[in-house]
């Protein structure tokens, strides 16, 4: 059995419509970026799910690790005053 | 003792894992997970991906003989979707740490399982209708539930698939509905397809949970959310009326609406046949494996060309 069909993987991000953010759709195997784009189109956009596609070598993605998600996001956790709900205003007062 | 401490830690982690799943947490690839969870998922997902891929073969058999250009175009689109489904699920399965090439090698070597339904032959055009309606219909019932399973990449792949399956289901039903409005011969052809595909479709949900060894774990981990029997019943309840609406007879003398349970009662499934097919003795097991291997080696030049092109560009 040949295993030479294991091309590197590329992560696929599709943009649903102009102005929307690109969203992760899944991954494809391809020998290079150009073919990765074609494969991504055929696999993740057969029904106009996208107007634009990014492909990124999977190995190029650097992700935070779930184990230290607590300490990693700590700086945000103890600053609840960043949320407007932190501030109490008089009842019935109109917000901006 | 060191070893005991470690196994205590492990069971503690496992308990925490089980609790988080009960609380509705979705597991992502980099999260810690028990080895058994990873293995069971990998087994399920690779079998599922293989089923999508092998599932193209019985239908592909009719692409050149579909009765009109429109039917050809629709069938090609349907079969292409199944290729896509295979790719989504392989891609999701790879996040559990096995390369796609390894999964594919297992399939080509005949060491991997796929849905037993694809080991039945497609003898007439009506079979294409029966597959879309019944086989994809059963797949929809399964996959809608899997879309809520605890493993993120699998559930997202299922969501994507579910959006496409209704097209498969409806085009199949329409094929049979048209035949049932046709000549006596066409009606008989449709009924014959119904007779051959009904029971194997019910088997797609797997044996009763009392007899499937992994069910308890899978339910606990929310990889499965309902038992095989529950899902089979759901499929039957939804399908019987569709059959009646176009004049097809369900080939089961014991089928009867039960006012008390609000479900259809149905006859005994031939599980001997199911296990025969699973263990390689179905009508088309050998043929499918050969067709899949041929398709793979016939595609070798495409892979070679793509690789050569990528290397050539790197040099320039
Ligand atoms: Fe599918
Ligand atoms: Fe399908």
* A40 at B interface, C-beta within 8 A: no
DSSP letter (8 states) at residue B151: B
Residue B260 Cα, gap to closest chain A Cα (Å): 44
* A43 at B interface, C-beta within 8 A: yes
DSSP letter (8 states) at residue B58: H
Which of B101, B156, B316 has the most A C-beta neighbours within 10 Å, making it the best mutation to test the interface with A? B101
List chain B pLDDT tens, one digit each, 316 residues: 344 556 677 788 999 999 999 999 999 999 999 999 999 999 999 999 999 999 999 999 999 999 999 999 999 999 999 999 999 999 999 999 999 999 999 999 999 999 999 999 999 999 999 999 999 999 999 999 999 999 999 999 999 999 899 999 999 999 999 999 999 999 999 999 999 999 999 999 999 877 777 788 899 999 999 999 999 999 999 999 999 999 999 999 999 999 999 999 999 999 999 999 999 999 999 999 999 999 999 999 999 998 898 889 887 6
Burial per residue of B225-242, b for 16 or more beta-carbon CB atoms within 10 angstroms, e otherwise: bbbbeebbbbbbeebbeb
* CB atoms A30 and B88 under 8 Å: no
B303: nearest CB among A1, A5, A67: A5
**SS3 state of residue B5:** helix
Report the half-sphere exposure of B215 (CA within 13 A, side-chain side).
14
Tokens 């014959």, residue? B192
State pTM to two decimals. Answer: 0.90
Question: For the complex shown, is ipTM > 0.90?
Answer: no
Confidence of residue A62 (pLDDT cuts 50, 70, 90): very high
* CB atoms A29 and B81 under 8 Å: no
* CB atoms A31 and B87 under 8 Å: no
Selected residue with higher pLDDT from A81 and B229:
B229
- Residue B151: count of CB within 10 angstroms of its CB: 29
- Identify the CA nearest to B127 among candidates B200, B183, B197: B197
* CB atoms B87 and A43 under 8 Å: yes
- Restricting to A residues 5-34, those with a Cβ less than 8 Å away from any Cβ of B are 5-7, 9, 25-32, 34
CB B53 within 8 A of CB B86: yes
Tokens of B109: 């070597």
**B77 to chain A: which residues are within 8 Å by CB?**
46
């Amino acid at each position: 059995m040949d295993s030479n069909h294991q091309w590197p993987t590329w992560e696929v991000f599709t943009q649903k419509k102009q102005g929307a953010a690109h969203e992760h759709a899944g991954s494809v195997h391809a020998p290079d970026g150009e073919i990765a784009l074609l494969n991504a189109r055929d696999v993740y956009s057969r029904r106009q799910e996208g107007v634009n596609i990014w492909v990124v070598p999977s190995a190029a993605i650097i992700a935070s690790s779930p184990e230290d998600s607590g300490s990693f996001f700590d700086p945000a956790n103890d600053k609840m005053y960043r949320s407007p709900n932190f501030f109490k205003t008089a009842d019935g007062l109109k917000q901006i | 003792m060191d070893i005991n401490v470690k196994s205590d830690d492990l069971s503690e982690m496992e308990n925490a894992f089980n609790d988080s799943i009960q609380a509705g947490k979705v597991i992502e690839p980099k999260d810690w997970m028990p080895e058994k969870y990873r293995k069971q998922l990998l087994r399920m997902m690779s079998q599922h991906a293989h089923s999508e891929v092998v599932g193209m073969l019985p239908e592909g058999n009719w692409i050149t003989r579909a009765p009109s250009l429109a039917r050809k175009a629709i069938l090609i689109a349907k079969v292409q979707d199944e290729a896509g489904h295979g790719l989504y699920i392989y891609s999701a399965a790879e996040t559990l740490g096995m390369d796609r090439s390894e999964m594919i090698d297992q399939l080509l070597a005949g060491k991997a399982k796929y849905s037993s339904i694809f080991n039945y032959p497609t003898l007439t055009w009506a079979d294409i209708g029966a597959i879309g309606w019944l086989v994809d219909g059963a797949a929809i019932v399964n996959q809608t539930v899997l879309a809520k399973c605890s493993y993120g990449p699998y559930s997202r792949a299922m969501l994507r698939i579910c959006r496409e399956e209704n097209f498969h289901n409806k085009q199949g039903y329409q094929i049979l509905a048209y035949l049932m409005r046709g000549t006596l011969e066409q009606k008989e052809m449709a009924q014959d397809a119904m007779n051959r595909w009904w029971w194997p479709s019910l088997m797609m949900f797997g044996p009763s949970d009392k007899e499937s060894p992994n069910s308890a774990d899978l339910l606990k981990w929310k990889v499965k959310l309902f038992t095989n029997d529950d899902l089979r019943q759901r499929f039957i309840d939804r399908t019987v009326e569709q059959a009646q609406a176009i004049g097809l007879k369900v080939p089961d003398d014991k089928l009867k609406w039960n006012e008390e349970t609000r479900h259809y009662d149905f006859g005994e499934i031939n599980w001997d046949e199911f296990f025969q097919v699973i263990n390689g003795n179905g009508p088309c097991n050998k043929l499918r494996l050969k067709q899949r291997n041929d398709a793979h080696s016939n595609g070798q030049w495409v892979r070679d060309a793509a690789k050569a092109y990528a290397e050539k560009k790197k040099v320039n």
